[in-house]
């Protein structure tokens, strides 16, 4: 059993849990995910790791209550325990294996759309802990749905907020905000975009036009999380990949987003039942 040490509401129906899972915390890296089973009757829910503390042995996940499974999880409180908490799974973010001196020469921009700000956070934090500055765009429909802004400001060089309705920060989509920053003279060597599939598609189209290499996370299409169900099968650079095994992060300019979104719609009913990590979709 995996005890919930801390529970915090970030926005409407969005909750952060710090879970006591020493083995997972010891091995976790940015970009990876865990599978939670709330109780012996619940389904498997893949969730990207939002943070981890090796000393305390805790792992943080952020969950948006979309379907029955995530609604059940979000009813848990501090002191309760999850039946299962498996991980870390998937491949870590590419930059954790890069030479720090070379990495320090690159200017990273992270774009977190909706719930995507949660998996962006550990990546920005890892770079900060290794002395590397980065900038972040957090996008949401309105100011009430912006999450992890203060936490991100502690580890990022600069945080930009973009809201669809203009209630906070830049008025418009994250693509509009990125294009505006570039027009104002900002230079970026690499972009990491995580959020709803359609957002990642259009960020990738924009960054391809701008000549900025881009990484995206295909966690939204994962169902089982172990490569057994085939639901997260995708095409990257013309080759078949499984998001949960080979990813979840891939080159955004090589992903067949139209196929991935069609697959996501195909499994929409399953996702609603599981209530997985859909990055706010």
Dist CA 178 CA 184 (whole Å): 10
Distances (CA, A) of 159 to 89, 147, 155, 235, 250: 29, 12, 10, 32, 24
Q: Are 62 and 122 in contact (CB under 8 A)?
A: no
What residues form the annotated binding site?
A: 62-64, 229, 232, 244
E-strand ranges in 44-92 read: 45-53, 58-64, 81-82, 84-89
Spatial separation of the C-alpha atoms in residues 40 and 60, rounded to whole Å? 21
- Give the whole-angstrom CA distance, residue 251 versus residue 242: 14
Which residues are annotated binding-site positions for [2Fe-2S] cluster? Answer: 229, 232, 244
User: What token pair was written down for 252?
Assistant: 């955004």
**SS3 (DSSP) at 233:** strand
Binding-site annotation, residues for FAD: 62-64
Structure tokens at 62: 């952020």
């Amino acid at each position: 059993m995996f005890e919930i040490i801390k529970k915090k509401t970030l926005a409407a129906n969005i909750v952060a849990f710090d879970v006591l899972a020493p083995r997972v915390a010891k091995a976790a890296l940015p970009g990876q995910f865990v599978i939670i089973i709330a109780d012996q009757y619940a389904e498997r829910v893949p969730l990207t790791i939002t943070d981890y503390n090796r000393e305390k042995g805790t792992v943080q996940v952020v969950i948006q209550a979309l379907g029955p499974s995530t609604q059940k999880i979000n009813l848990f409180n501090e002191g309760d325990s999850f039946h299962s908490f498996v991980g870390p799974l998937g491949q870590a973010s590419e930059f954790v294996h890069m030479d720090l001196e070379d990495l320090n020469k690159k200017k990273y921009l992270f774009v977190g759309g909706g719930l995507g700000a949660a998996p962006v956070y550990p990546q920005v934090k890892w770079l900060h802990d290794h002395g590397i500055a980065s900038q972040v765009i957090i996008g949401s429909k309105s100011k009430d749905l912006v999450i992890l802004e203060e936490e991100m400001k502690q580890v990022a060089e600069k945080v930009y907020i973009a809201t669809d309705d203009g209630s906070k920060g830049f008025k418009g989509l994250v693509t509009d905000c990125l294009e505006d920053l570039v027009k104002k003279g900002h230079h970026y060597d690499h972009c990491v975009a995580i959020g709803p599939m359609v957002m990642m598609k259009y960020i990738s189209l924009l960054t391809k036009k701008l000549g900025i290499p881009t990484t995206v996370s295909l966690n939204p299409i994962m169902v089982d999380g172990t490569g057994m169900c085939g639901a997260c099968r995708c095409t990257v650079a013309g080759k078949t990949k499984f998001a949960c095994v080979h990813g979840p992060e891939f080159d955004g300019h090589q992903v067949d987003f139209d196929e991935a979104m069609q697959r996501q719609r195909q499994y929409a009913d399953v996702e609603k039942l599981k209530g997985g990590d859909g990055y706010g979709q």
